[in-house]
Amino acid sequence: KVAILMIDLDQFKKINDTYGHTVGDRVMMEIGRILRDFTRAGEAAFRLGGDEFLIIIPNIGDERGIEPVKRRLLQCFQEEFRIANCHMRPEFSLGHAIFPDDGEDIDILLQVADERLYKDKPKTREK
């Protein structure tokens, strides 16, 4: 089985509005660096676009196997980002899908992961 883990940076617009787009771009680059370091042999991390990222994790086993991966990922983002004299701790929402349990088509898997990610979003977020 293969898991996909979708990651969405919460309130990225607020980061851009508060610190500017240059800092926002550097936040995206730092997230990319962290995800590159996070992935293990056989895994892959991608930026889907905007503030969304995707990690592919082969040999996941079952649904229970994704929780340790999520905890390990969240630990990677515990430290404050220090970018251009700005200090912040970005927060993320996570969603996942497992092939073939949740679907056998990438579009369906992405939809399932996105629905789970949306359920993980903070209830009170700025628009």
* Active site positions, annotated: 51
Secondary structure element (H or E) that encloses residue 99, with its range = strand 92-99
CA count, 13 A, side-chain hemisphere, 59:
4
Cis ω on the peptide bond leading into residue 100 (within 30° of 0)?
yes
Provide the residue type at 43 as one letter.
E
Closest alpha carbon to 35 in 47, 23, 26: 47
User: Hey, what are 55's tokens?
Assistant: 């990690």
Closest alpha carbon to 50 in 8, 98, 84, 92: 8
